[in-house]
Amino acid sequence: MVSQRITITINQARLSIIQGDITHQTTTALVNAANPGLMGGGGVDGAIHRAGGPAILEECKQIISRQGRLPTGEAVITTGGNLKARYVIHTVGPIWHGGNKGEARLLASAYEQSLKLAAANQVDSISFPSISTGIYSYPVREAARIAISTITAFLRQTTPLREVVLVLFDPKTFNAYSSALQESEQ
Ligand code: ADP
């Protein structure tokens, strides 16, 4: 089966959505939907640590002992360990509490801080999962709109990033991002 990819161009960069497993991506960086303790866990976090091996957890522990738990909406960078990606950027998305607890702002911040950290490390290509829409229960259609509007706003600025890929794990999530991408072009 040929996997579906939808791509738009913003300035000199491409933004794509695909359905797949983020641990197989060959972009320079992968973003992990982590939790504040950075100790791994379920979902995409567990998959990235399993595929990347213990070097990632080792660096996460050092970060936590230096600066404490990672606040929601912020991001840190580690090695990619055994992954094809050189770096993993760990960010913490918000837990959905109904929408009146700053969730939208915090989700946008998780994308934006990850992109800023990538750019600061001269990363030219980066893959994101659908942050917060799994265990953290953020409604996927709204999360997709925020992801796409935050990424496109970032790519309109001057940046070393040339490729951003949103790697969606299941067809329902892919379809939500596909609709949001089409809406963003209208
Ligand atoms: P959160 O706690 O931020 O909600 P989850 O890992 O529970 O994070 O879910 C975020 C999204 O990542 C969900 O859509 C989930 O299906 C997806 N996901 C899980 N494993 C992978 C993977 N290997 N590659 C890409 N996406 C994944």
Give the chain's domains with CATH numbers.
5-184 (3.40.220.10)
Q: Is 170 a catalytic residue?
A: no
Closest CA to 115 of 55, 73, 145, 143: 73
Question: How many Å lie between the centroid of ligand 1 and the Cα of residue 33?
Answer: 7
Residue-wise pLDDT for 42-51, tens only, equals: 999 999 999 9
pLDDT at residue 178 greater than cutoff 60:
yes
* Ligand 1 mean position, distance from CA 45 (Å): 7
58 lines ligand 1 (CB under 6 A): no
3-state helix/strand/coil string of 52-95: HCHHHHHHHHHHHHHHCCCCCCCEEEEECCCCCCCEEEEECCCC
pLDDT of residue 80 exceeding 80, the answer is yes
Beta carbons within 8 Å of 1's beta carbon, 6+ residues apart: none
The confidence score (pLDDT) of residue 2 equals: 55
Amino acid occupying residue 45? D
**Alpha helix locations (H) across the chain?**
43-52, 54-67, 103-120, 140-155, 171-185
